A and B are shown apart, each in its own frame.
Chain A
Amino acid sequence: MLIARFLALRLAVAVPVVLGIVFLTFMLIRIGHQDPVAMLAGPLADASTYAMIRKELDLDRPLLQQFVTYCAHLLHGDLGRSWQGGAPVLQEIIAHYPITLELVVLAVGLASLIGIPVGIRAAMRPNGRFDQVTRFGALTAFSIPTYWMGLMAILVFFYFLRWAPPPMGRVSLEVIPPPVVTGSVLIDSLISANWAAARSAAAQLVLPVGCFMLLAMAPIIKQTRAIAIEVFGSDYMRFARASGFSRRTLRRMALRNSLPPVLTFLGTELTSLLAAASLIEYIFSWGGLGQWGLNAILQGDFAVVQGYVLTLALSAVIVFLVVDLAVLLLEPRSHRRA
């Protein structure tokens, strides 16, 4: 009952947030300097062609009227069509979203698996050698621009060493891709027992996931360390230490008590990386939601940009909801707060 109330409250808060984002995206993109009509009409068009395209795109009416129509369509699950390809935006989101999700979930998952234990270990002896090395490493990884890191990874592992496969999509041209079930080539290959495609998909994932993982891992280590230092300094941990518990047990206790705030941070990290995926996708020709959204922004494809931003907003709402639920389960005391 408590969880149901909690969920209802969160969803009630999310609705105006999403509506606000939809409104802002709709207005901001239109009051900017981009004119998709000029782009679609081409340099040879005359005034009548401009007017015709403007009408076709529903851009000849007042902004608020356009927005009301857009919202009415949204309520029916119609996100419009791409102005440049004519494909329904919803269909494109369904096709592109799992591609990005595969990349981001793997990166954040691996970054958490490594970053959380490293952060806790570093917190056990603040300013010790391990802590200093870790902090230096995390700061370095965090300071490197994603774009540059991707390019360097391609240069070293693909161009010079020839270890990595060509940064040209999610599966090699030489293998037959699996039928689409989940949208993740790796999972779909495993489901269909297409081992050649699975091998190729795994190889294609290594560099982009590696770069993304490094980017994600640095703040996870930093945040976990800060939280764990606080936990280690708490009364119950001091009592545990005084009681003679082993270092391993202490680490496990610290992990258990650090998890709720770390999980909340991971939620933030996951949503921000979903938005940041565009650059990694761009470098590795990944073809996911980020690359699709970035192209749309550059080409003034308003319907796609709106769909892209709405997807990111809804993803954030869902991720935070799941994280809050997980925290509720991990931290019974937070029931009362909820």
Chain B
Amino acid sequence: MRHIFAFLSTHRLRFTLNGSPRSLEVRADRRLIDVLRDDLGCTGTKEGCSIGVCGACSVLVAGELLSACLLPAVFVDGRDVTTVEGLAQGDELSPLQDAFIREGGFQCGICTPGQLIAATALLAEHPRPSDDEIRGWMMGNLCRCTGYHGITRAIKAAVA
């Protein structure tokens, strides 16, 4: 899908969100997080720091882990976007989500969508990650509650 953006301050954005095709007009300066939360009602992705540091807004675009708070919405045109709402299959949670529950990978839950998305991307790239690989990858997702051990345990348990 190729779109020619010519002299426009709004653009027609066509992309797939958690498997469903979406189409909407967006202002050029809108970020993906604005579109997800405000335009599409997908509030699972959280805005924490707004500067790409905390990881609460982690999303997958064409399988790549990105900060939705730093990404111009127009950049996802023609792409597949996955948010936390897309991890479960209907009522069935993903093995990772299950593991987070069993292993105490969250408390208040505000960082959890980002943790799950980041961990999903980690496991896609490293199906059997070492402790170092987990820590190195997940380093960019901050958590104020758990102290991180529950998160690491959950990721390991998900692939055990």
Task: Please determine whether chains A and B interact with each other in the same assembly.
Answer: no
The interface of chain B, by Cβ under 8 A from chain A, is: none
The interface of chain A, by Cβ under 8 A from chain B, is: none
